[in-house]
Amino acid sequence: MSKFAQATGLGTADLEREVRALQSQMERLNFPSKNTVYAMSKVIFHRYDLFCFQDSYFREMKAPNPIILKRLNGLMGYFIWNWTEVNEQYRIV
């Protein structure tokens, strides 16, 4: 965590606090599902307040358009790595 904190210019404690807050928000927005990809998509909508850029129906409901959410889910899948598979396919030095 400390190397990532250095790369982002944050203190380790600050980064850990941010990560915990993000995890909590993901759990809250995606309850009762435990699908991480879906949670990531929903957090993006809330974190960047993308509701105002949708059709009026979804904007007033303050809910992500399911079509856009599905596309975001597809994109978020690229950010989840299967580290066991990566280690088997590539030699990390």
Q: pLDDT tens-digit profile of 27-65?
A: 999 999 999 999 999 999 999 999 999 999 999 999 999
Between CA 34 and CA 22 the distance in angstroms is 14
Q: How many domains does the chain have?
A: 1
**R_g of the chain, CA atoms, integer Å:** 16
Contact 92, 73 (CB under 8 A): no
Hey, what are 12's tokens? 């380790």
- The total of other beta-carbon atoms located within 10 Å of residue 22's CB is 14
How confident is the model over 50-60, as pLDDT tens digits? 999 999 999 99
pLDDT at 1 over 90: no
Tokens 């993308």 label which residue?
A: 50
pTM reported for the whole predicted model:
0.73
Tell me which residue range forms the domain holding 43.
2-89
Comparing 10-14, 26-30, 73-77, 81-85, the range with the smallest average pLDDT is 81-85
